[in-house]
């Protein structure tokens, strides 16, 4: 492949773009009451969504960041609800600590069981995940049903996640599932309202692994 | 894997959730001037973002939907700027017409060339894409630099995309790149402002393939 015919010098590098973006966010965010490490996550969520309202709607359990950093440094598994979340996560940083990212929603046994039970694959995937990723980080950006099932499993003592990042998006059950999550006294990062999604869930997780790396 | 111990009947099915969500969007969107097929795309973008402002900011070139449907039915390649866009796209519907989704940003030759030229992988990936996916649909949800490079290649007669879905998100160059796209007289779907992203780009493409299927 010869790219030279169309070559033109370009000065803007990805690192410069990111730094400039963060500066704009700092300049425009206005008042907030996030702690320093929380703000590092808020900032990256805004960077990924260009949505200050969404970033400022984030809620952190008091132990969320400490627990997330510990789980990453201990090489605990990260569970993504959907493949879009899985592929967006920076694996190199997790792998340094022995960590890895898993998604169960398209597993053969999950699809088969969801059909048999006439329920969603997202729900069945969570039942599998809590068995395979004890103490791990659950990053849910798409399916409210996955988050609701995870909350149920926590309440019934069948799941002990290290951290839940619960940021599903949508009009049916998304806001409600996040309200339920915010009632739990276990480490969570979530937000108020309908907004969320795979890209902001990825942003939150990646921000956390940067914090873990910085020490 | 035995899921039965935690089984509970659940009545809400994915199709029902989607239909209920679309109903809420119809009820809440208020006034707009989108044509029927355009609205099908706007609706799915709002569904993916829970953001009416973002959905209502969409801009359609007059031939955008017709051109997109033609490209899908002709089995033209879909190019994604990043893997998150690639994995989110419904491949089964494209494959019916012989179509497929490609992402070049992590190709060895692209990474090597970007390093050599001291530029972004996103830019070099676009130079490769226009050679490999002539007449295809370019779905850009992440990198403004990719969109700006694609626009340059179009202007210089080196690219003939069937449709550009240009919805990158961000604080540096995203809005500007979309303004440039909107000046072209070739089929595009874009929006005004900083917002966008992989999930809404996927939503727009998937909405289009549903329209192609419906005939």
Q: Which CATH number fits domain B35-214: 3.40.50.10230, 2.60.120.20, 3.40.50.300, 3.30.565.10?
A: 3.40.50.10230
pLDDT band at residue B9 under the 50/70/90 scheme: very low
CATH 3.30.1390.10 assigned to domain A15-214? The reply is no
pLDDT score recorded for residue B12:
58
Whether residue B120 and residue A10 make contact (CB cut-off 8 A), yes or no, is yes
Average pLDDT over residues A146-173: 97
Average pLDDT over residues B168-178: 96
Q: Say if residue B11's pLDDT is above 60.
A: no
pLDDT band at residue B39 under the 50/70/90 scheme: very high
Helix (H) or strand (E) holding A80: strand A78-80
Closest CA of chain B from A39, distance in Å: 18
Suggest the residue from A26, A57, A87 to mutate for an interface test with chain B (most B CBs closer than 10 A): A87
Q: What single DSSP character describes residue A82?
A: S
pLDDT band at residue B15 under the 50/70/90 scheme: confident
Q: What is the pLDDT of residues B77-96, one digit of tens each?
A: 999 999 999 999 999 999 99
Contact in structure between B193 and B56 (CB atoms under 8 Å):
no
Q: Which residues of B167-183 are buried (b: 16+ CB within 10 A; e: fewer)?
A: bbbbbbbbbebbebbee
Task: Tell which residue, B139, B111, B135, has the closest CA to residue B123.
Answer: B111
Q: What is the pLDDT of residues A88-143, one digit of tens each?
A: 999 999 999 999 999 999 999 999 999 999 988 999 999 999 999 999 999 999 98
First and final C-alpha spacing in chain B: 42
Instruction: State yes or no: ipTM above 0.90.
Output: yes
Which residues of chain A are within 8 Å of residue B87 when distances are taken between CB atoms?
Answer: 83-84, 86-87
Q: Say if residue B154's pLDDT is above 60.
A: yes
Give the length of chain A: 215
What does the mean pLDDT of chain B come to?
A: 94
Percent with pLDDT over 90 in chain B: 89
Average pLDDT over residues A12-29: 88
Q: Compute the count of residue pairs across chains A and B with CB atoms less than 8 Å apart.
A: 139
Q: Name residues whose C-beta falls within 8 Å of residue B214's C-beta, 6 or more positions apart in sequence.
A: none
Q: What is the pLDDT of residues A51-103, one digit of tens each?
A: 999 999 999 999 999 999 999 999 999 999 999 999 999 999 999 999 999 99
- Indicate if A61 belongs to the active site: no
pLDDT score recorded for residue B153:
98
HEC string of B142-159 equals CCHHHHHHHHHHHHCCCC
Q: Say if residue B58's pLDDT is above 90.
A: yes
Instruction: Compute CA distances B171 → A112, B38, B160, B183, whole Å.
Output: 43, 27, 28, 20
Average pLDDT over residues A33-51: 98
Whether residue B199 and residue A84 make contact (CB cut-off 8 A), yes or no, is yes
Q: Which of A20, A87, A171 sits opposite B50 (nearest CB)?
A: A171
Q: Say if residue A31's pLDDT is above 90.
A: yes
pLDDT band at residue A27 under the 50/70/90 scheme: very high
Helix (H) or strand (E) holding A102: strand A101-102
């Amino acid at each position: 492949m010869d790219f030279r015919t169309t070559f033109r010098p370009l000065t803007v590098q990805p690192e410069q773009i990111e730094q400039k973006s963060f500066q704009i966010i700092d300049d425009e965010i206005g008042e907030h009451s996030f702690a320093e490490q929380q703000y590092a996550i808020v900032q990256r969520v805004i960077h990924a969504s260009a949505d200050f309202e969404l970033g400022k709607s984030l809620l952190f359990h008091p132990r969320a960041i400490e627990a997330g950093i510990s789980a990453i440094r201990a090489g605990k598994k990260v569970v993504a609800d959907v493949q879009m979340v899985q592929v967006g996560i920076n694996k190199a940083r997790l792998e340094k600590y022995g960590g890895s990212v898993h998604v169960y929603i398209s597993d053969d046994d999950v699809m088969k069981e969801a059909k048999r039970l006439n329920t969603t694959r997202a729900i069945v995937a969570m039942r599998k995940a809590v068995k395979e990723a004890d103490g791990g980080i659950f990053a849910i950006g798409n399916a409210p049903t996955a988050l609701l099932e995870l909350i149920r499993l926590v309440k019934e003592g069948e799941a002990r996640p290290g951290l839940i990042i619960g940021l599903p998006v949508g009009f049916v059950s998304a806001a409600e599932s996040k309200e339920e999550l915010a009632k739990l006294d276990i480490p969570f990062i979530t937000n108020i309202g309908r907004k969320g999604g795979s890209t902001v869930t990825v942003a939150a997780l990646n921000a956390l692994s940067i914090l873990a790396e910085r020490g």
